[in-house]
Homo-oligomer: A and B are copies of this chain.
Amino acid sequence: MVSTCLRALYLSFLMTLGSIGHLYSQDDQDALFIKSIHNQILTEGSCYAWLDHLSEEIGGRLAGSEESEIAVRYTRDVLSEYADTAYLQPCQVPYWTRGDEEVVKILNTEGNLTIDIGGLALGNSVGTGAKGIQAEVVEVKTLDEVRALGIDGINGKIVFYNRPMDPTQIRTFYAYGGAVDQRVNGPAVAAEYGAIGTIVRSMTTASDDNPHTGVTRYKEGGPQIPAIAISTNDADLLHEMLQKEPVDIYMYTNCRMVTESKLSYNVIAEIKGSTYPDEIILVGGHMDSWDVGGGAHDDGAGCVHSMQVFETLKELNYQPKRTLRCVLFMNEENGLGGGRAYAEESAANGEWHMAAIESDAGGFTPRGFSCDANDDIFPGFYRQLLKWTDLLDPYYLGLTKGGSGADISPLKSQGGLLMGFRPDSQRYFDFHHTAVDRITAVNERELKLGAAAMTSMVYLLDNYGISKGDE
């Protein structure tokens, strides 16, 4: 691009002015206020500075950890500047620790070749014992393959799950959804057939050296075996070696579940609505992250997006008609203790969340919102939202049907609208659950535009409300 494009840019600019003019004539107030939201955040918004603090000063914030408690106090203190009240809501969370650095080695069976590859224990995994474990590797692509191999094929072995995420999915979350059963349930299934350990290919379409952790789940009362994620490059290497000869894996981790239940907190900030105080609009993300990296995209971004809503509405002197709540949930990653505690207390208090918006897909450039509700009332909600299309188009914000967010999903029984903020997903799994999910992976403008998208949607929901009956 160079100055020869200036004429074209100028023409485009004139067209934009034309289209803004068109909006003004429809609904001056809304278009102007949404523009002022964007201007405030792009010039003065604090979300990037907050995220820098969460990711780089505090660091990874696994539920139950000291870092998570520091982050709870920090965000409560920040939010207290912009809300009527900011307080902590108790919840019970597990506390799992990684312990020492993991050791993973590939050894050929003659013992004359050893390759250190390293890895990250999966969250909730048990340890290997002090000496580690070593056994022949069985590579599989699916859980069904393990079942088909049965005890004869699996007993005493280390199972290596190596089905890649599908790179042809345009929405990378679908690719994740199509592969993550290996990580979540793979170790439990392998254990049923007598495996002594599990190695899992990392959940990313990128070819790199970063192992991706994430939760695994044992069956209640079932056998528990250690599980470690290895990078996609190392998974490809191991696969190549297995084409030639049998190989062993040695693995060591002293990770452990310290306790299944420990007191922790959601952070809640609230501004009471002036006209409809019983209609709640929630914005939120999750405070906890994995212990490696800084939890910048997952989900520091969602937290600071939500906090930015409150700062901006205060800076713009906006008095909401409905009650606004910012909720930073604890323990999304390995239990959902915070999300459940919030929904239970809300139900006990007879609350109605007219709408809840979760941001838990990273701090990337905005694409829009996914919308979810009970099937019988969804169409009416969706038609009401679509009336705002012209107001959202200038900011590239589309509305699609789809899931909202794990933390707010227990609110579905209240019959309100659940929304998920949807940024572009192409880079998300380059960083997800890794040591490189740091502030350096977050672009300041992209983060701020996400916060502006959330604030704009809150403004529209607050100003117009939505009704269960179709208008």
Contacts and interface: CB of A to CB of B under 8 A. Distances in A.
Given A11-B403, A334-B2, A445-B205, A39 B215 contact: no
A206 B444 CA distance: 8
A173 B6 CA distance: 9
B402 A426 contact: no
B167 A9 contact: no
A359 to B, nearest CB: 11
Contacts of A174: 9, 12-13, 16
Interface centre among A1, A336, A409 (most CB of B within 10 A): A1
A22 to B, nearest CB: 13
Nearest to A334: B2
Interface stretch (A71-79, A249-257, A360-368, A381-389): A360-368
B170 A43 contact: no
A372 B8 contact: yes
Contact of A11 (B16, B167, B402): B402
A403 B12 contact: yes
A180 B432 CA distance: 37
Given A4-B336, A8-B372, A15-B402, A446 B427 contact: yes
Contacts of A2: 214-215, 332-334, 336, 406
Given A170-B38, A177-B13, A424 B424 contact: yes
B168 A39 contact: yes
Interface centre among A168, A176, A443 (most CB of B within 10 A): A168
B432 A446 contact: no
B177 A10 contact: yes
Contacts of A131: none
Interface in A139-188: 167-168, 170-174, 176-178, 180-181, 184
Interface string A258-295: 00000000000000000000000000000000000000
Given A360-B1, A444-B206, A7 B426 contact: no
B424 A445 contact: no
Contacts of A333: 2
A424 B367 CA distance: 10
A311 interface: no
Interface in A410-463: 424, 426-427, 430, 432, 443-446, 449
Contacts of A395: 170
Contacts of A8: 372, 402-404, 406, 409
A395 B169 CA distance: 10
A449 to B, nearest CB: 7
A175 to B, nearest CB: 10
Contacts of A332: 2, 4
A88 interface: no
Nearest to A123: B2
A176 B4 contact: no
A430 B206 CA distance: 23
Interface centre among A11, A173, A367, A426 (most CB of B within 10 A): A426
B180 A6 contact: yes
A381 B16 CA distance: 20
A10 B5 CA distance: 44
Contacts of A11: 402-403
A395 B170 CA distance: 7
Contacts of A396: 170, 367
Interface of A: 1-13, 15-16, 38-39, 42-43, 167-168, 170-174, 176-178, 180-181, 184, 205-206, 214-215, 217, 298-299, 332-334, 336, 360-361, 365, 367, 370, 372, 394-396, 401-406, 409, 424, 426-427, 430, 432, 443-446, 449
Nearest 6 Cβ contacts at the A-B interface: A8-B403, A9-B177, A12-B402, A4-B406, A3-B184, A39-B168
